[in-house]
Structure 1
Amino acid sequence: MTAVGEKQDGNLELIFEQFLQKEDLPERYAATARQWFLPLASQIAAAQLKAGKTLLVGVNGSQGSGKSTLCALLREVLQSQYGLSVADLSIDDFYLTHAERQTLARDIHPLLATRGVPGTHDVDLLTTVLEQLISHEGPVRVPRFDKATDDRVAPDHWSLFTAPLDVVLVEGWCMGITHQSPVELATPVNALEADDDGDAVWRHWVNEQLLAQYEPLYGRFDFWVMLQAPGFDCIHRWRLEQENKLRDRLGKQAGSPHIMSEAAIARFIQHYQRLTEHGLRTLPDRVNVLFRLDEEREIMDARHFRERTPG
């Protein structure tokens, strides 16, 4: 009998076929998965077997890098090929509600009305959910955030996972990124910071949230993966592709005020630029597995390290 966490026989071709169809992915993604992501799944399964407990896996990647798709695939493979119970979560689903961000915008800084930067997530809720997925027995509700309405969905539409789990994957653009020094914060990195945060109140507050809330959260994770973009310049195009997919999903409802134009996206991603670039510089040396991407999001190479942690 094969033990949980050890390689099992399974129809990978069928899994890939169904996954490509479900995620609307090109056929070449299966080749990428075989070459790069099956070894990653094996490494995660081995780490979980060695740990003998719920393995918390953090996955970092800039907007549009493919981290959500990677986590969905890892969940399928780890469940079907290794017999592991897995949840794949996004830190995006833990954004503060629209009303809560409006309060931050009024009380601290107007830029905090826009979701995304550290300080606009409910880290306490994420921590509670992770603890439940590790130690609770039975169903655990995980929030969902609807980017089309820019708000959290009602609790009766939250996702359900049965705990305890063997592996919990948490992906996000800011996962693992640590705070900056005061010197690094002094100079604006783009027009948004120069024009809307000239006194640096917003970026200092975000930096404080990283140090106080996010870094302790990162310390709970056992294993880290990064999809490293070649630079920030290509992220505008990647993010635009994401918005077009959202528009297609909503069909003729493209008139929604939360479907962004190209100009709006160009402004939106400036909120992320500082920490994205900081993460691209500092995080690769502190993860367990690093995938380096080209401008078309194709993997150029992978680097595997045994002992790394962003904490």
Structure 2
Amino acid sequence: MGQPYAWRLLSRVSSFRRASVILQHLRMSMHTEAAEVLLERRGCGGVITLNRPKFLNALSLNMIRQIYPQLKTWEQDPDTFLIIIKGAGGKAFCAGGDIKALSEAKKARQNLTQDLFREEYILNNAIASCQKPYVALIDGITMGGGVGLSVHGQFRVATERSLFAMPETGIGLFPDVGGGYFLPRLQGKLGYFLALTGYRLKGRDVHRAGIATHFVDSEKLRVLEEELLALKSPSAEDVAGVLESYHAKSKMDQDKSIIFEEHMDKINSCFSANTVEQIIENLRQDGSPFAIEQMKFSLTKTRLQNGNQPI
């Protein structure tokens, strides 16, 4: 009787161990699926995937703390020739910083806000100074913090699904993530207009405005990515050549009029003032439906900024 009992006991222990191993693998799998950012070394390059599709890939402090050291590692790695960053889910590249997390941290009197902005700006600077070709696939919503992850890189690829905006002033914050650098460098006063109104640019207009360097049909992005990663020891010129070839082949919305072009004269005249108050006065004097719409938006934001401290 003792021997069969012992055998049954050992069998149960063995089954328990197998179950424990299976559960451990399941936990690891769940953890991997839940990772906020995926960092992969593929072919000749490194690939960063923002992996919070349910939250439109909103940028968290945890994501920043994973991306920055990996970016610096790949930059120094002689076998890594380019870096690609993209968003998961098909709806957004990155819709901005995780405002919800900041709000909750503020209520809990935590210093998350200062840490996030400080480290986010350090990452933005690292992208701007990166010595390897940096390719941002800005497919879908690209706002605020998402702009910081892309616009400072050497190459920015927009698609027909791209939706660009700098909506920070709507919550009483200045256009951050280096907005004060790249926005004034856009044509005419377009950057001032985008900064103060949060106006949204869509699709090919993101390229036409000078925010993206190339435009590619969204359905071609996967093939484009694979072709870039298959290059042998590519230079920046090689990467640019591949991007140019895809850009040249894209005919989507090519004949579509530029959404802001019809208003450029008004934008240049009204937003050329040195103060927001004078800009609002210029819009009031213009009196066109476009000017009145922007004036109402600017007045709302001015009240927000005067009545609230930036978060």
Class of the TM-score when normalised by the shorter of the 2 chains: under 0.3
- Structure with more relative contact order (C-alpha pairs < 8 Å, separation 6 or more): 1
Taking structure 1 as the reference length, what is the TM-score of the superposition? 0.27
Report the TM-score when normalising by structure 2.
0.27
Larger Rg computed on CA atoms? 2
